[in-house]
A and B are shown apart, each in its own frame.
Chain A
Amino acid sequence: MNAVESPSRANRLAPAIADAIAQEMRVDPRVVVWGEDVVISVMGPTKGLAAEFKDRVWNTPISEAAFVGAGVGAAVGGLRPVVDLMFSSFAYVCFDQLVNQAARIRYMAGGRMSVPLVVIAVAGARGANAAQHSEVPTALFLNSGGLRVVFPTTPHQAFWLTRAAIRSDDPTIVMHHPALAATRGTVGSTPLALGEAEVSPTGTDVSILGIGLMASRARAAATTLESQGISAEVVDVCSLSPMPWDAILASVRKTGRALVVDEARLTCSVASEIAAGISEHAFTALKAPVRRLAVPDVPMPFAPNLEEFVVPSEADIVAAVKTLVDA
Chain B
Amino acid sequence: MAQVADASSPRGMLLETKGVDFMRSLLHIRLFEEALAALTAKGGTAGPIHLSIGEEASAVGVCSTLEPGDQITSTHRSHHHLLARGLEPEGMFAEILGKATGYCRGKGGSCHVAAIHLGAVGANGIVGGGIPIAVGLGIAARETGTNRVAVGFLGDGAANQGVFLESLNLAAIWNVPVIFVCENNGYQEFTTTQSVTAGPGIARRADGYGIPGIVVDGTDVLAVHEVAAEAVRNARAGNGPTLIECRLQRWRGHLEGEEVYSGVYREPAIIGPDTAADPIDLLETALTTSGLDGRALRAQLTQEEHALIEQALVSAQAAPLPEVETALEDVFA
Interface residues of A (CB under 8 A from B): 30, 32, 56, 58, 60-61, 63, 65-79, 81, 96-97, 100-101, 105-114, 145-146, 148, 168-170
**In the bound complex, how far is the Cα of B135 from the Cα of A68, in angstroms?**
11
Do B333 and A110 have beta carbons less than 8 Å apart?
no
Q: List CB contacts (< 8 Å) of B143-164 with chain A.
A: 143-144, 150, 162-163
A69-B131, A76-B116, A77-B136 given; A61·B169 CB < 8 A = yes
Interchain nearest-CB distance for B5 vs A (Å): 37
Contact of A69 among B116, B167, B333 (CB under 8 A): B167
Please report the C-alpha to C-alpha distance between residue A71 and residue B140 in the assembled complex, in whole angstroms.
9
Kindly provide the distance from the CB of A115 to the nearest chain B CB, expressed in whole angstroms. Answer: 9
| Alpha-carbon gap, A183 to B129, bound state (A) | 38
Measured in the bound complex, the distance between the Cα atoms of B117 and A118 in whole Å is: 23
Q: Does B107 contact A (CB under 8 A)?
A: yes
| A–B Cβ pairs within 8 angstroms, 6 of them | A60-B170, A61-B170, A63-B170, A66-B167, A69-B163, A96-B163
Residue in chain A with minimal CB distance to B173: A61
Q: Which of B304-331 contact A (CB under 8 A)?
A: 329-331
Instruction: Give bound CA distance, A107 to B124, whole Å.
Output: 13
B139:A79 contact, CB within 8 angstroms: yes
CB distance B121 to A110 under 8 Å? no
A79 (CB) vs chain B CBs: closest residue:
B140
CA distance A65 to B107 in the complex (A): 25
User: How near does chain A come to B221, taking the closest CB pair, in angstroms?
Assistant: 27
Asked if A70 and B332 sit within 8 Å, CB to CB, the answer is no
Residue of chain B at shortest CB distance from A68 = B132
Cα A184 to Cα B39 with chains together (Å): 65
A73, A77, A169: the one contacting B333 at CB < 8 Å is: A169
A77-B138, A112-B115 given; 15 more Cβ-contact pairs under 8 Å = A61-B169, A65-B132, A69-B135, A69-B167, A71-B136, A73-B132, A73-B133, A73-B138, A96-B129, A100-B125, A110-B103, A110-B107, A112-B103, A112-B114, A170-B332
User: Of residues 188 to 229 in B, which have CB atoms within 8 Å of A's CB atoms?
Assistant: none
Q: Please indicate the chain A residues that have their CB under 8 angstroms from the CB of B117 in the complex.
A: 112
A140 to B272, CA, bound (A): 45
Q: A63-B170, A108-B114, A170-B332 are in contact. Are A73 and B144 (CB under 8 A)?
A: no
Known: A61-B169, A112-B104. A70 touches B139 (CB 8 A): yes
Decide: A65 and B166 in contact? CB cutoff 8 A. Answer: yes
Residues of A within 8 A of B114 (CB): 105, 108-109, 112-113
Q: Which residue of B lies closest to A58 (CB)?
A: B174
Nearest CB to that of A102 among chain B residues? B133
> Residue of B at shortest CB range from A75?
B136
B317 to chain A, nearest CB (A): 19
Q: How far is the CA of A101 from the CA of B139 in the complex (A)?
A: 17
Cα A77 to Cα B330 in complex, Å, equals 19
A110 touches B136 (CB 8 A): no
What residues of B have a CB within 8 angstroms of the CB of A30 in the complex? 143-144
Is B54's beta carbon under 8 Å from chain A? Answer: no
Partner of A63, one of B73, B144, B166: B166
CB pair A108 B122 closer than 8 Å: yes
Q: How far is the CB of A14 from chain B (nearest CB, A)?
A: 26
Is A76 a contact of B107 with CB atoms below 8 Å? no
User: Do A106 and B331 touch across chains, with their CB atoms under 8 A apart?
Assistant: yes
Contact with A along B255-292 (1 / 0, CB 8 A): 00000000000000000000000000000000000000
Instruction: Tell me the minimal C-beta distance from A187 to chain B in angstroms.
Output: 25
B129 lies within 8 A of A73 (CB): no
Q: B112 on the interface (CB 8 Å rule)?
A: yes
B152's nearest neighbour on chain A, judged by CB, is A73
Which residues on A sit within 8 Å (CB–CB) of B134? 73
Chain B residues, Cβ within 8 Å of A110: 102-108, 330
Q: State the CA gap A109–B135 with chains docked (Å).
A: 20
- CB pair B163–A113 under 8 Å, yes or no, is no
The 8 A CB mask of B86-113 against A (1 = contact, 0 = none) is 0000000000000000111111100010
CB-based contact A66/B132 at 8 Å: yes
Nearest CB of chain A from residue B102's CB, rounded to whole Å: 8
Nearest 10 pairs of A and B residues by beta carbon: A73-B136, A69-B132, A77-B140, A110-B105, A66-B166, A111-B330, A73-B133, A63-B166, A169-B333, A70-B136
Q: Which residues of A contact B129 (CB under 8 A)?
A: 69, 96-97, 100-101
In the assembled complex, the CB of B316 is this many whole angstroms from the nearest CB of chain A, namely 15
CA distance A177 to B117 in the complex (A): 40
Residue among B73, B132, B169 with the highest chain A CB neighbour number at 10 A: B132
Whole-angstrom CA separation of A170 from B332 in the bound complex: 6
